[in-house]
Amino acid sequence: MPSFFHRPAAHDIHAPSLELEGVSVAYDGIAALEDVSFSVRQGDQAAVIGPNGAGKSTLFNVIAGIVKPQRGSVRVYGSGPRGHICVGYVPQRNRIDLRFPVSVHDVVMMGRIGKIGLSRWPGRRDRQIVGEALEQVEMQPFARRQIGELSGGQQQRVLLARALAQEAELLLLDEPLGGLDTPSQEAFLRILDRLRRRGITMLVATHDLNQAAEQYPLVLVLNRRLIAFGSPANVLTTDILSQAYGSQMHVVHTKQGELVIADTCCNGGQPPVPQMLGTEPHDLTARVESQVELANR
């Protein structure tokens, strides 16, 4: 039975928002996560990076209580992951089916079920919260549309609105920009920026190392094991990135510093997008070109 039919889990206000200890998950005997331990305090915002198959989505499923680890423990505000209406999860796009005939408004209202309970109908306050959540993600004009009629980027924003209407205290966003066109990516980044400034605790899986470096105070590097967790300056080093990306990463030493190209992307079957770190931030294309020049010398 889904967890929201149970009494919501209690919060220990002294406990970290999230704490994993020795978490291991295997599918059919093949390890997806091995001995992963870390904790996240209230207000922490971390990018989760690692190559395809690193276990990022598995990690989020474990935190959301959807996948049960074979070993180790997951604690959300001091208790097990199930029954927490405070965890808002926006899964990776290719893992969700939004073809069912439900309006955008109703999808977002579903986020309220944990708060409303099953014993009463949504009230004025619930409708107001749903309206505000849709406004925050710039989807209010689409409230009466069927979710299946929207573009991928719009659907993604509606799912984020659902997490906001839920009044989530811990947001898990799994590759929220994956497969979106540039305007949708920009819209989503604007929304993420607002949430960050509000200090919401969040973990965001991303393939964009520059975005991780520039926009998150913390970066968690995963490849089955937890390779590193800390500030971008401490974590996005050549050594740590090569442990995570192995042969998918190339490093070029220049007078200005190290250029790192990591083929990190799944991009819905598109070719990998080269990414660079360690130089002054400027236009990615320019950096790619200078990289090609360097490589040709």
Note the residues at the interface with Mg ion (CB under 5 A). 56-57, 92
3-class secondary structure per residue, 146-193? EHHHCCHHHHHHHHHHHHHHCCCCEEEEECCCCCCCHHHHHHHHHHHH
The span from the first CA to the last CA of the chain, in angstroms, equals: 62
Q: Does 54 bind ligand ADP (CB under 6 A)?
A: yes
The distance of closest approach from Cβ of residue 25 to ligand ADP in the complex, given in angstroms and rounded to an integer, is 8
Of 49-57, 104-112, 151-159, 275-283, the segment contacting ligand ADP by CB under 6 A is 49-57
Task: Select the binding partner of residue 128 from ligand ADP, Mg ion, none (C-beta < 5 to 8 A, by kind).
Answer: none
Q: What, of Mg ion, ligand ADP, none, does residue 55 touch, CB below 5 to 8 Å by kind? A: ligand ADP
- Residue 176 interacts with, from Mg ion, ligand ADP, none (CB under 5-8 Å by kind): none
- Cβ 178 to ligand ADP shortest distance, Å: 10
Q: What is the DSSP letter of 59?
A: H
Encoded tokens for 108 = 């977002």
- Our finding on whether 55 is near ligand ADP (CB under 6 A) is yes
- Closest CB to Mg ion among 16 and 51? 51
For 9, what's the count of Cα atoms within 13 Å in the CB-facing half-sphere? 20
CA distance 146 to 148: 5
Q: From Mg ion, ligand ADP, none, which one binds at residue 45 (CB under 5 to 8 Å depending on kind)? A: none
Identify which of residues 53 and 268 has a Cβ nearer to ligand ADP in the complex: 53
Q: From the list 45, 58, 184, 201, which residue makes contact with ligand ADP (rule: CB under 6 A)?
A: 58
CB burial of residue 110 (10 Å; 0-12, 13-18, 19+): middle
Q: Number of C-alpha atoms within 13 angstroms, CB side, residue 39? A: 12
